[in-house]
Amino acid sequence: MPIAVDIDVMLAKRKMSVGELAERVGITPANLAVLKNGRAKAVRFSTLAALCEVLECQPGDLLRWEETEEAEETEEASGSTAGSTAGSTMA
């Protein structure tokens, strides 16, 4: 999945255990593990907000986008680049 979850990084910075985070956020340790290990298909904004509040961080500290091999292959096949239209203007 192109969205990577960096909860481990914030847990280490805050010197907090998964169990403590789960308890403070109000979710089960099993559901937190699913999210933490990148197996979640979705996350509620309320859960994301609670994670950010407890960890004292921004959503971007927990989630990041990674380009997948499939996206790179599609881009190469079409000859396009991600920034190809960044400089275009309308007349």
pLDDT in tens, 65-74: 998 876 566 6
Map residue 21 onto helix, strand or coil. helix
pLDDT over 50 at 84, yes or no: no
Phi, psi of 66 (to 5 degrees): -120, 130
Q: What is the pTM of this model?
A: 0.73
**Spatial separation of the C-alpha atoms in residues 23 and 17, rounded to whole Å:** 10
Interaxial angle between packed helices 45-55 and 7-14, expressed in degrees from 0 to 180 and rounded to the nearest 10: 30
